[in-house]
A = this chain, B = another copy of it.
Amino acid sequence: MIKIDYRNKEPVFKQVQNELMRLIVLGVYPADSQLPSVRVLAVELGVNPNTIQKAYRELEISGVIYSVSGKGSFVSQKDNAQEIVREKHIAEFENAVKSAFYAQLTKQELVLKIEEIYSSKDR
């Protein structure tokens, strides 16, 4: 379910982190459900366990998941997890808008782009 692109500049641990956030927000992993273990996911993706652990730890620090030593890693209460992920994406979006503003792009252009992208995806 998780895809890694090794040609991508984005570090592997970050890609894993983003993919997990995406799956959590989509409800594939509901609140308190168990995520694949560090080692299982490492084997599945052909990646070092440390790399996966780094992804998990960062998600834990930001409150999206919690891990119980000896038991596994679990999704935090949905409200929390989703909210945190949302905030991260909003922050990213705000930065892009500010850059766009400084680059003299107009409001209309941005809104149009949004329409374009949202209507191209089926929802």
- Listed in ascending order, the chain A residues whose CB lies under 8 Å from chain B are 6-7, 9, 11, 18, 21-22, 25-26, 61, 66, 68-71, 74, 82, 85-86, 88-90, 92-105, 107, 109-111, 113-115, 117-118, 121
Contact = CB atoms under 8 A, between A and B. Distances in A.
Given A6-B68, A100-B89, A115 B107 contact: yes
Contacts of A66: 7
B98 A113 contact: no
Contacts of A88: 103
Contact of A90 (B68, B86, B93, B113): B113
A109 B90 CA distance: 9
Given A61-B61, A82-B104, A93-B99, 6 more contacts: A88-B103, A90-B100, A92-B99, A94-B113, A107-B118, A111-B111
